[in-house]
Amino acid sequence: MTANIKTEMVTYNAGGATLVSYLAWDASQTEPRPGIVVFGEWWGLNDYQKRRARELAGLGYVALAADVYGNGKVAADADEAGSLMNGLFADMEGTSARVRAAVDQLSRQPGVDASRLGVMGYCLGGALSLHAARLGLELRGVASFHGSLGKTHAAHKGDVKARVLVCHGEDDSFVSAEEQAGFRQEMEELGVDYRFVAYPGAKHGFTNPDATENGRKYSLPLEYNESVDRESWQEMKAFWSDVLA
């Protein structure tokens, strides 16, 4: 059967903001299926984040590209993106509410099997995905692509219910060796079932075709890597096929 991808905007309130997120699903499927929240890069709810949601819908999931800034905000440039992102980390209580609300909204959508939910994200979204796991949300899995690994919430053993996949670029200068080691230690101490995949030569933003140009434009160490983009997507597909079965 040929996929029939449909999309719509979903509006809800959380963390002091009106959030306008982007839902994608395959209308040719009628049976309940797993749902995946997609958190985007620091730019906000842009075309890249929406494309990933549609691609997930094409794989048979219901996907919600989640707005975390409010009103579907997309940053005009790197300075604004940094300011918006810093605002999230300055109010982790509100940000946690927005993360929880995205998962809750997805779980309520028609066609979603609320017992089979996952969260994934890129850059900032990778950090938010790991935050969702640390919060102990009822998730089967979380996946982070070139995301920050540092914690803004200290989980205790037994809190993290999700399996974890981290796809990391070995040449990502935003994530230090100390942060990587600290993350691994944290996962081990919490008893989390996790997989950490490091890609040689890959820099921050390796999944986004716009990364190289954005890096040049804003003098940031960003770079798209087509082969690693493909490899990490295959890694993710296998992960979701396993944990959301």
Report the pLDDT value the prediction gives residue 3, as an integer from 0 to 100: 85
Parse the chain into domains and list their residue ranges: 5-243
Interval 110-125: pLDDT, tens: 999 999 999 999 999 9
Question: Are the C-beta atoms of 59 and 140 separated by less than 8 Å?
Answer: no
Measure the N-to-C terminal CA separation of the chain; round to a whole number of Å: 20
Q: Which of 158, 149, 61 is nearest to 113 (CA)?
A: 61
Architecture per CATH, 5-243: 3-Layer(aba) Sandwich (3.40)
Question: Are the C-beta atoms of 58 and 27 separated by less than 8 Å?
Answer: no
Question: Are the C-beta atoms of 69 and 17 separated by less than 8 Å?
Answer: yes
Q: What average pLDDT does this structure show over 159-173?
A: 98
Average pLDDT score over the chain: 97
Q: What average pLDDT does this structure show over 220-227?
A: 98
* Residues 6 or more apart whose Cβ sits within 8 Å of residue 60: 26, 29, 33, 34
